[in-house]
Structure 1
Amino acid sequence: MTAAAVDGTTGTRLRADALRNRERIVDAAREAFVQYGPDVPLDEIARDAGVGNATLYRHFPDRDSLIRHVVLSVMDRVASRAEAAYAEVPGAFDALRRFVFDAAEERVGALCPMLTPHLDGNAPEFAAARKRLEDATQALMDRGRRSGELRPDVDSGDLMVALSQLARPLPGTGCAEIERFVHRHLQIFLDGLRAPARSRLPGSGATFEDLRSGGVPVQRS
């Protein structure tokens, strides 16, 4: 049962109409957080979702509850997309490419770095969601390396950093067609991941552990 399929306070299954309202709220919150940050007024999120304030607060009694469910929802959806890309796309690099664009559509790169400081990252639900996402992403990277299509000096942390930097709109741009630029720049990045490498990267590939610890990967021989 995913985070989006249960009530945030009781843990019980939601009726179909309540689930639709909840999904609209989570989707609207995801877009609002990307555009305006985690302090966007909840009234605006309710309006964008097409529900009343009372409906929003019935599902999410406070901002932290909403942020938590947005992050869990995005992590769940991105992990599902990574698993689907691995299972459905025959080519290793083609599967990685599909995942990168899918993850950008889910706003994972923009949202998670922005919102995780507001969360308890050690909570069991986040640990489980993070492990699933990391395992699915690592499987795609490992497959790309085994096929010889992915340059050997990059790791999963490099991929997530790039998504974080490339998949968020520039502040204050008001660019209505930001997705077109995101896709262009992600394709440039993907071209740089292909083997054989055209240059030597400084340092060594960033892992998920490097990202969690906030450390800088050291040069490995």
Structure 2
Amino acid sequence: MKRPTTTAAAAPPAPRAAAAPAAPKGGPVAASRESAAAPRPRADAVRNRERILAAAREAFVEFGSAAPLDEVARRAGIGNATLYRHFPDRDTLVHHVVLFTTERVAASARAALAEEPDAFAALCRFTHSAADERIGALCPMLADGFDRDHPELLAARTALAEAVETLLAAGREAGLVRADIGAGDLMIALSQLSRPLPGTACFDTDRFAHRHLQLFLDGLRAPARSELPGSAATLEDLTWKTT
């Protein structure tokens, strides 16, 4: 049965379309230029920011968070004005260096566990990678006056703790990592073994750090050959119980 059709006269008049906004002068090309005018970091600005954070991380490991900002700028290959344009004061720079390092170390833990053939190999890869990331740059988190409870840092620290705890748990479950070691034990040993001795000019530690870290890692293998005194340390022990 054919569906009945309506005549044009029966249909209600179509509403008038709203007037379209006037096109910018110059047509579509000008419109695309206007949409592209939204603020976006330039590639050179992004590169400068990365260079500053990496240079500051190195300087903070060697000299502490009171390292001269002129030295940071020199290592980054930029002028002081560029440094202050990105980070207007020392506290802001320290905050972002800690955040930068925390996020990179957490990412290295996740990548190691996902890509290595067994949990102990993943632990070794992570430990050496974290040393190369200059994990000693996280030491400002232990200092008085540092805002360790900033929301950005809390989120990054939680992600790091979860990544490292997952890595250690995988090793324990596989029977490859001793059971009496915690994420805090691992991280404090990493920091101590991969940064220069305070108050010395002994900055060329890279050639020793990985040797000493491997000795430390051998001590983490299961079965344990001794009983550790005290209890395993967590990352919370390193951040919230230092005041």
TM-score, structure 1 as length reference? 0.87
CA distance in 2, matches of 1:83, 1:100: 12
**1:167 positional shift:** 1.3
Match of 2:128 among 101, 107, 110: 101
Task: Show the counterpart of 1:163.
Answer: 190
Match of 2:230 among 203, 206, 219: 203
Runs of 4+ in structure 1 displaced over 6 angstroms?
none
For structure 2, which runs of at least 5 residues remain unmatched after alignment?
A: 1-38
Task: Show the counterpart of 2:55.
Answer: 28
Task: Show the counterpart of 2:140.
Answer: 114
3-state secondary structure, aligned to 1:24? helix
3-state secondary structure, aligned to 1:187? helix
Name the stretch that deviates more: 170-179 or 186-195.
170-179
For structure 1, which runs of at least 5 residues remain unmatched after alignment?
A: 1-11, 216-221
Task: Show the counterpart of 2:110.
Answer: 83
| Residues 46-61 of structure 1 aligned to structure 2 (within 5 Å) | 46-61=73-88
Structure 2 contact 142–238 (Cα < 8 Å) conserved = no
Matched, 1:124 2:151: yes
Letter in 1 for 2:124: R
CA distance in 1, matches of 2:102, 2:75: 22
Name the stretch that deviates more: 201-210 or 30-39.
201-210
C-alpha distance after superposition, 1:31-78 (max 9, x if no partner) = 111111211221121111111111111000000111111110001111
Bigger radius of gyration: 2
CA distance in 2, matches of 1:202, 1:166: 20
**1:175 positional shift:** 3.4
Matched, 1:192 2:219: yes
3-state secondary structure, aligned to 1:193? coil
CA distance in 2, matches of 1:121, 1:16: 30
Letter in 1 for 2:139: P
CA distance in 2, matches of 1:172, 1:59: 30
Letter in 2 for 1:81: S
Name the stretch that deviates more: 64-73 or 159-168.
159-168
**1:13 positional shift:** 4.7
Task: Show the counterpart of 1:16.
Answer: 43
Give the paired residue count. Answer: 203
Match of 2:172 among 125, 145, 148: 145
Structure 2 contact 196–205 (Cα < 8 Å) conserved = yes
Letter in 2 for 1:186: L
CA distance in 2, matches of 1:179, 1:205: 27
Query: Aligned-pair RMSD on alpha carbons?
Result: 1.6
CA distance in 2, matches of 1:112, 1:78: 10
Letter in 2 for 1:104: A
**1:172 positional shift:** 4.5
TM-score, structure 2 as length reference? 0.79
Structure 1 contact 67–115 (Cα < 8 Å) conserved = no
